[in-house]
Structure 1
């Protein structure tokens, strides 16, 4: 009560924002009650804040309600359930008032959307399908489609309504009836759809024939056997030759699907192609894409025919829809090997201009275009080589576009443009976003591996980057390892250890890289063995990969300095073989121990341990399972985005017997084909080429050790060593390729 009375006596706040109002109240309250308890002040502030929050919530609710009213007031149909609503809906459905009928159907569909049972109203709703009002008829059809997925046995009750509407005087209703019947996905209804579908194929209205073309595709998708037995392939060809572009374009879409996934391929007549090319400019943008996909399936008989077809398609490169542009590029790419070299150069310049235009689109389009360019470079290796600046990273680009542009720059860079790319990478390394800068570090190392002339500049850039951003040290160490493999004379290990210290490298991959460099170039670093000894002291608490790297590094140092490193190697082997619980580490130690104890010469041992380092592939983008033909077909598809064959990520083609996607309301079912999981695994079984492992490269088998060895020779130091007590349990090495032991 005290607080309320005091609140009334306060002066009115100025007409400003709520925050300033709050400051005003607090100031006034503190002025009058500066000697009062702080608890009262906190209570007052809490009350004021609560009042402000209530005001904000109320205004937000009012704003949402206004938006719902502007959207048509559909929210009222999704209100909470109430008792007696089913009887009320039944009465409204049987009413003669059209407004009540339409409202009842909408409420029924809303109840189904909310998961409520509305099956008892099926007969009452289906009866309304006889109406002449198109809006109400569409609502009834939507209800039937939804109930057919939930209760397929009731779909037969609505077949009679569909058959009557398939003969309606209105072409829109005829097409709607045929399309809805084919969307039911109920096997028992398919036989009733065949006759209406055949009538729709020869309908006088092109809209109905267009719907019939898509209906043939649904028959192929649902019942492939019926498609071939009922000769729907011949009917599809007739629709492909229709004089209306809207009909032929939809028939082309279905033809592409049939030829891709059907057991029998429909041969494409050159006369059809001529007709389709004539109709191409008159089609809608998606119709043009369907026709261009059909052109990809054709095989021109000679060079002149191929160039004529490409010339007619070339105009689509200026289309406003990126999908049409990419479809046209796909046609040109597939016909490129059948055209003259002079024509190829002309086509390449036009494609170059089209891609530069697409590079100025929205971020999503830029991402997909960059993915497609990787596949285009297989056929047109010189495309965009002189236009790298069009794909430079912008500050406003989202992260996924930045990363894809970074990969594309590495693919397009040449020795002539490499210095400019290094300068770009220097700018990118100053970005705030850590993830992007990490990829810039990797890209800098990849650029050094690809272009030898800029490798010193790339190495300096890495050092500058880690000086500015010490948190990037693990990524710089890994990048330095890759560069050191190809350019040992750059000596990146010494400045890394001196300036930043080996103790600051704590990530697993970075520690493996650092230990590998210590094993290779320890002699060029002051105090190198000391740094390696720190890792040896903590050997058994390190990760498995780090233990393997330490073991290999110690063996390499022993080969270079047998006398100094023999005690260290002996200690490491004893520790691992007796204490390690990891079979990979233990088997590697046994393998080294047996090689050394058999008296293999130092030269042969060096050949086994060091071997020949395999080159690092920095241009690999796609799965090894994809051939050149697959790359051409993958242009303008999801396969080029994923970088692997479509069989590896798409479900089996066709309609499953008992698994129906309840969210699929589309008219077109262009699901890609896919084989069984085993086949998909086989297709993608080849791993993508990445940074090669230390012992992944093929190594020549060592020569047999000479029968006589000097007693004091370094290679005989382990000849008299006794193997551990449990060494007999290790796998036998007889008949085993030495390469496999270290791969």
Structure 2
């Protein structure tokens, strides 16, 4: 039977019948493997009924010999998935798994046994696993040592570090391993362990940071990612070392692997905080990062989205590190909606007075598309550009006026919403757009748009000839409106009255509306506002107009979208989910320590928000690094014990003279 025919849901009872037949007939490895594949397919389809086959799978595991590793792998996958449901039955497989490790003829079998034992975190399994890991970390082949390093990280428990304390020293020793893949696995494991613990801290000194960064040239892709992540634990003590490592990492921005590109970008952005006048020292930095972004924009949509979210982060915090062509983010006809939405955000952030012509032409084209969501977002972007950049307001409002001339309902509704902000930002400059909206008020039916139009009628009622008639029309259906619209309409009617106190028709409209609110509206917010206006108007205060229609504060367009501390933390999380949500890492991941820039004599608070990329070339001087310490510090209990041992070992990385310091308090 071909594998493609196996990918259908099968009842667990039918699989059990096949297992019974397997026990009665001469045992065939092909038949056994077919049954196991059916079980795994049901498992992948979410059919948890196959948990009833637990004992039968363990029996199959007993029959599997060393010549059928694929069937053994399927059994182990089943066990690691359902061991929590059958913990007692899982113990029956312990002897077979440990035997696989001790009697394995290949490294693949030994690695599979270690991974399975580490995944099934029962106390009995961990007791057997710890001595096996000690043996694997010291005597195993490179692939076994690499697997063992990852297993140490997976079984580490922050609340009980004593259970794996014997393995931590061996894991540190792997940093001296002559095989780069083993070193990268140890770095990755140590990084994962320190993330789980509040008391462990992993740091790299300048000498070894330079060594491992130079080893990137001879690493595989997985090792490159691990080493780049490990460089985030390096705290530069001088500007030259940080600039030198940036220079080494810079070529990896052009890698075909998107993970390598994003991790290299994360390292560069991090180290920029430790280089004085980084754009003078590395003038090619903005162009290199921009070329990397351009390459990522040729990847599948998921990678494009991740790259663009990180571009938004850099544009909010460090725009000087980017030298992007805005045309790169113009929407294509086949772009997915979330890609178009993200591109619009970047276009808005990149727009300025120099490129406003092509930006408005592009946004106007989007505003005439069939997709209503895209139309609304495009119009909102045009209006926000008018509010954001004073010099572009005339052109933006002109484009909005052209769009209004088409009298398309959803276009008119969206322009009505954004016109409120434009009129507030530029009082008296664009009043002509009010009449264009009033002429098309019959097309406005959406709730937010109606509320905006009602606000305009109340705020500028004295300059609109038929404002009283329009407000009266809305007031006829007052009780049918939602509470938000009722509040807007009540306020607009009272505003119009205090601005035109001698208008008898408007005076009668105010009385009827307030009486209707007080007597027939159940919403306490609307009733409360009605009573408030009734008492204010009854008191006939001399400054009534200042109370009901005060001077509105100017819109503040210069406020940062993210607080500075959040932006700094996100700089350390480039390429992660936190950079997609633009939220602090503790809000995205549970049990993760907040990330902060470490203090250092080389730390500089340079402003990359207002700086501009330099085109002049400057030489980069490279000083020899000062030997330091690669340490893992741990605090346990209340005792204080400081020990330091110095070891020397030859390796292809040249990681000699490592000093490991373990402090316990």
TM-score normalised over the length of structure 1: 0.72
Aligned position for 2:185: 250
Decide whether the 8 Å contact of 1:219 with 1:227 is kept in 2: no
* Structure 2 residue 240 is matched with structure 1 residue 304: yes
Aligned position for 2:573: 634
Match of residue 396, structure 1, among 334, 350, 354:
334
Counterpart-to-counterpart distance in 2, 1:631 and 1:75: 42
Match of residue 413, structure 1, among 344, 351, 363:
351
Aligned position for 1:579: 520
Counterpart-to-counterpart distance in 2, 1:336 and 1:273: 16
Where does 1:252-651 land on structure 2 (aligned, <5 Å)?
A: 252-270=187-205, 271-341=207-277, 342-343=280-281, 345-384=283-322, 387-468=325-406, 469-488=408-427, 489-500=429-440, 502-564=441-503, 565-602=506-543, 605-606=545-546, 609-615=549-555, 617=557, 627-650=566-589
* Structure 2 residue 132 is matched with structure 1 residue 164: no
Q: Structure 1 residues 237, 487: CA separation in 2 closer, same or farther (over 3 Å shift)? A: same
Q: Structure 1 residues 275, 344: CA separation in 2 closer, same or farther (over 3 Å shift)? A: closer
Aligned position for 2:169: 234
Decide whether the 8 Å contact of 2:459 with 2:492 is kept in 1: yes
Match of residue 138, structure 2, among 199, 202, 209:
202
Decide whether the 8 Å contact of 1:484 with 1:490 is kept in 2: yes
Counterpart-to-counterpart distance in 2, 1:384 and 1:82: 58
Q: Structure 1 residues 571, 462: CA separation in 2 closer, same or farther (over 3 Å shift)? A: same
**Other structure's SS at 1:612 match:** coil
Counterpart-to-counterpart distance in 2, 1:538 and 1:574: 14
Counterpart-to-counterpart distance in 2, 1:608 and 1:261: 56
Q: Structure 1 residues 619, 581: CA separation in 2 closer, same or farther (over 3 Å shift)? A: same
Counterpart-to-counterpart distance in 2, 1:625 and 1:383: 17
Counterpart-to-counterpart distance in 2, 1:138 and 1:437: 52
Q: Structure 1 residues 387-396 or 338-347, which shifts more?
A: 338-347
**Other structure's SS at 1:267 match:** strand
Counterpart-to-counterpart distance in 2, 1:215 and 1:528: 74
Counterpart-to-counterpart distance in 2, 1:574 and 1:272: 79
Deviation at 1:373, TM superposition (A): 0.7
Q: Structure 1 residues 531, 166: CA separation in 2 closer, same or farther (over 3 Å shift)? A: same
Counterpart-to-counterpart distance in 1, 2:415 and 2:114: 63
Deviation at 1:343, TM superposition (A): 2.3
Q: Structure 1 residues 562, 107: CA separation in 2 closer, same or farther (over 3 Å shift)? A: closer
Decide whether the 8 Å contact of 1:494 with 1:524 is kept in 2: no
Deviation at 1:316, TM superposition (A): 0.7
Decide whether the 8 Å contact of 2:190 with 2:202 is kept in 1: no
Counterpart-to-counterpart distance in 1, 2:420 and 2:4: 63
Counterpart-to-counterpart distance in 2, 1:104 and 1:550: 70
Deviation at 1:339, TM superposition (A): 1.0
Q: Structure 1 residues 330, 303: CA separation in 2 closer, same or farther (over 3 Å shift)? A: same
Deviation at 1:84, TM superposition (A): 4.7
Decide whether the 8 Å contact of 1:300 with 1:306 is kept in 2: yes
Deviation at 1:616, TM superposition (A): 5.5
Decide whether the 8 Å contact of 1:384 with 1:412 is kept in 2: no
* Structure 2 residue 90 is matched with structure 1 residue 155: yes
Counterpart-to-counterpart distance in 1, 2:333 and 2:377: 16
Deviation at 1:272, TM superposition (A): 3.5
CA distances 1:43-76 after superposition (whole Å, capped 9, x unpaired): xxxxxxxxxxxxxxxxxxxxxxxxx84x565459
Deviation at 1:503, TM superposition (A): 3.0
Q: Which runs of 5+ in 2 are unaligned?
A: 595-665
Aligned position for 1:91: 24
Deviation at 1:386, TM superposition (A): 5.4
Q: Structure 1 residues 352, 98: CA separation in 2 closer, same or farther (over 3 Å shift)? A: closer
Decide whether the 8 Å contact of 1:288 with 1:324 is kept in 2: yes
Counterpart-to-counterpart distance in 1, 2:283 and 2:318: 9
Aligned position for 1:81: 14
Counterpart-to-counterpart distance in 1, 2:37 and 2:370: 51
Decide whether the 8 Å contact of 1:551 with 1:572 is kept in 2: yes
Q: Structure 1 residues 560, 106: CA separation in 2 closer, same or farther (over 3 Å shift)? A: closer
Q: Structure 1 residues 144, 201: CA separation in 2 closer, same or farther (over 3 Å shift)? A: same
Where does 1:115-194 land on structure 2 (aligned, <5 Å)?
A: 115-116=49-50, 117-167=52-102, 168-194=104-130
**Other structure's SS at 2:353 match:** coil
Q: Structure 1 residues 535, 107: CA separation in 2 closer, same or farther (over 3 Å shift)? A: closer
**Other structure's SS at 2:569 match:** helix
CA distances 1:220-277 after superposition (whole Å, capped 9, x unpaired): 2x56514666243333322233221211222222222223331123231314423321
Q: Structure 1 residues 362, 332: CA separation in 2 closer, same or farther (over 3 Å shift)? A: same
Counterpart-to-counterpart distance in 1, 2:5 and 2:368: 51
Q: Structure 1 residues 606, 76: CA separation in 2 closer, same or farther (over 3 Å shift)? A: closer
CA distances 1:570-626 after superposition (whole Å, capped 9, x unpaired): 332222122211011111222333344455432x6415642433525498655x596
Deviation at 1:413, TM superposition (A): 1.1
Deviation at 1:363, TM superposition (A): 2.3
Counterpart-to-counterpart distance in 2, 1:512 and 1:436: 22
Decide whether the 8 Å contact of 1:536 with 1:572 is kept in 2: yes
**Residue-pair matches, total:** 581
Deviation at 1:97, TM superposition (A): 4.6
Counterpart-to-counterpart distance in 2, 1:376 and 1:476: 30
Deviation at 1:108, TM superposition (A): 5.5
Decide whether the 8 Å contact of 2:133 with 2:148 is kept in 1: yes
Counterpart-to-counterpart distance in 1, 2:43 and 2:331: 48
